[in-house]
Amino acid sequence: MSVQQPDMPPVRADGLQLAEDRRVQERIWTAERVSHVVLLLIVLAALAGVSGSGGLLSRTTLVSESGTIDAPRILRWDTAEDLTLRFADAAPSHRLRLEGPIPHGLFIESIQPQPSESRAAPNGITYDFTAEGEARAAVTLRLRASGPGLVSLGIALDDAPPVATTVIVLP
């Protein structure tokens, strides 16, 4: 029984004697460069706020006839986030109506200041706020998502028509 010896690779100009397939190595280098660019884009997107909680893209400002709404654009599942409403006019009372998947898609953990009255309707919840002395110009709701997905929400301040927004809930 004879043992067959493998062919010896040629000696390169730099003195190394090894067998290499240059095309395979160039493909590996190309894949490495592409993966570095993809990872860099993921890090930049996270810094911009695409992963939620911070960054320019994680929040949006909606304008209504009766005020402005600072709302999250991207939420993380089971993480609390603030929704801030600023009423445009000074009045002894204000009304907030939330239309959509409340409480099915979002849970309201807290409301500051506390509403004087709340009413449930088939299409959402209405909160009434009264001022003590001067009119309260802002309301903050702390929201928590019940699961990942898209949540569409309509927000109406006082008697203005609702402003629609869609929140992306990431796992």
Digit-coded pLDDT (tens) for 87-142:
888 888 888 998 876 655 788 899 998 999 998 877 788 999 887 655 557 899 99
Is 5 part of a structural domain of the chain?
A: no
| pTM summary value | 0.72
Digit-coded pLDDT (tens) for 36-72:
999 999 999 888 888 877 778 888 899 988 899 999 9
pLDDT of residue 141: 92
Task: Give the number of domains in the chain.
Answer: 1
CATH number at residue 63: 2.60.40.680
Beta bridge partner(s), residue 118:
127
Digit-coded pLDDT (tens) for 143-153:
888 888 888 88
Kindly tell me if the per-residue pLDDT of 78 is higher than 80: yes
Is 27 part of a structural domain of the chain?
A: no
Is 60 part of a structural domain of the chain?
A: yes
Is 31 part of a structural domain of the chain?
A: no
Contact (CB, 8 A) for 75 and 145: yes
Is 50 part of a structural domain of the chain?
A: no
Residue closest to 53 by CA, chosen among 143, 141, 147 = 143
What is d(CA 66, CA 31) in angstroms, rounded to the nearest whole number? 53
User: Which residues form the domain of 140?
Assistant: 56-170
Range with lowest mean pLDDT among 1-5, 125-129, 155-159, 167-171: 1-5
Is 118 part of a structural domain of the chain?
A: yes
Q: Nearest 5°: CA angle at 36, between 30 and 40?
A: 150
User: How is 17-69 classified by DSSP, letter by letter?
Assistant: B----HHHHHHHHHHHHHHHHHHHHHHHHHHHTTTSSSSGGGEEEEEETTEEE
Is 41 part of a structural domain of the chain?
A: no
Confidence of residue 29 (pLDDT cuts 50, 70, 90): very high
Query: What tokens does 25 get?
Result: 């190595």
DSSP code of residue 91 = -
pLDDT of residue 84: 93
